[in-house]
Amino acid sequence: MTGSEPRQGTVSRQTGETQVELTLIVDGRGQAEATTGVGALDHFLTLFARHGLFDLRVQARGDLEIDEHHTVEDVGICLGQALGQALGERRGIRRTAHAMVPMDEALVTVAVDIGGRSYCVLNGAFTGPMVGGLSTELLWHFFDSISREARMNIHILLHYGRNTHHEVEAIFKAFARALDAATTLDPRLGDTLPTTKGRIEGASGEQGQ
Query: What pLDDT, in 10s, does the model give residues 42-69?
Result: 999 999 999 999 999 999 999 999 999 9
Domain 8-190 of CATH type 3.30.230.40:
yes
The sign of the torsion formed by the CA atoms of 122, 119, 33, 7 equals positive
Q: Report how far apart, in Å, the C-alpha atoms of 83 and of each of 16, 151, 197 are.
A: 24, 10, 22
> What would the pLDDT profile of 145-174 be if each residue is shown by its tens digit?
999 999 999 999 999 999 999 999 999 999
Backbone phi, psi, residue 127, to 5°: -65, -40
Residues paired with residue 102 on neighbouring β-strands, in sequence order? 107
> What would the pLDDT profile of 20-49 be if each residue is shown by its tens digit?
999 999 999 999 999 999 999 999 999 999
pLDDT at 4: 64
- Is 2 a residue whose pLDDT tops 70? no
Cα 163 from Cα 58, distance rounded (Å): 27
The residue type found at 182 is: A
CA 177 distance to own-chain centroid:
11
Rounded to the nearest integer, the mean pLDDT of the chain is: 93
Mean pLDDT of 85-103: 96
CA atoms in the 13 A half-sphere facing the CB of 79: 29
Q: Tell whether pTM > 0.85.
A: yes
- Is 180 a residue whose pLDDT tops 90? yes
Mean pLDDT of 79-94: 95
Tell me the pLDDT band of 196, cut-offs 50, 70 and 90. Answer: low
pLDDT at 209: 26
Cα 171 from Cα 176, distance rounded (Å): 8
- Is 207 a residue whose pLDDT tops 70? no
Cα 165 from Cα 43, distance rounded (Å): 11
pLDDT at 191: 86
- Is 189 a residue whose pLDDT tops 60? yes
| Residue 91 CB contacts under 8 Å (≥ 6 apart), including other chains | 1, 2, 189, 191, 192, 193
Are β-strands 8-14 and 18-25 bridged in parallel, bridged antiparallel, or unpaired? antiparallel
Cα 92 from Cα 9, distance rounded (Å): 18
Contact (CB, 8 A) for 140 and 69: no
Helices (runs of H) and strands (runs of E) counted in the chain:
4, 10
